[in-house]
Structure 1
């Protein structure tokens, strides 16, 4: 009986948003029925002079109730995530044709290509460009010179080890200095018109001036953000 309870609790603890709720629910139901069978069998065959501890039965029933509640919570979270994704897709679709300003530090790598627009306050003789993935891990670095003004930096998706990085969202950090060693400000904010929206991924990706921009990186709609 105790092993059935432990098995059920272990199943619940492993349950997450990506797990199969129907499979977990079926497992819990099977364990619960087994538990009840063992319980009633022991009650029928217990020694009247040495009855079983009813507190233990009660505690285990409470544990099963808690497990069932957790499974229901996971089901509801799945529904909320689905609804949230649908809402974000609808919002993004309604932005097509709008002029927006986005945080240009984030770009989507697709088919081995990701681009950023860099605007240097003045020429930089040495700029270190560091690309990190969504988890903050450094995947590639490059050192190059930057001219004054706006320019495009394209990444072919190759990591520092020469391997192809998987498609996804990546961030670019730029640290630049001029010929005298003074720090140079490099702006990555992008302003443009949304041409289309890709909703096939976990987050809608906007096409702004030929660039792929995640919806979450928008800063303003209708023009440049204040102070940009």
Structure 2
């Protein structure tokens, strides 16, 4: 018994994220040039009977070098902060939308919308459902239709247990496997964060997906 029902509404193409940023100031470099001019004038005008020790010059250079590095560090931190704020502002646009993702999504008895795309020339198609550990939880023959369908998650013994599931589609011609491909499922975005792996979107039921795992975006 198939748990696939009538097609759902069409989706729209995903939108790209943008990030903010700013250019650094040249003030620090200008101050350093001013310091060199002042140091040169100091050398020219020092008392020949009581010249400044070389160690004094070294102390002055070291002190100004430290100030110069601190100014540049502050500029860099400012740029990073502005970039993060701009990026997080862009991420806010994802929240409340529905994304189509190949990452595992949460199933709690309510139908999930899947995007089914059989291989050209297929005469039989199987939908394979995998649990959070990647183990096969269900395999069922479905029709040859293409597009969005509602998957109810039902088996002969009743609905699948609540949990995270991912999907793949196996297309056959006779006994020959034409293709095995991941199936996208729609889920609503509840949050977003920037991680070392990229932008990660929070989905219901403890699921999440990287931006690279998202193939479409639409209004919920």
TM-score range, shorter chain: 0.3 to 0.5
Q: Determine which structure has the larger helix proportion and give its number.
A: 1
Greater strand content: 2
Higher RCO structure, 1 or 2 (CA under 8 Å, sep 6+): 2
> Based on CA coordinates, which of the two structures has the bigger radius of gyration?
2
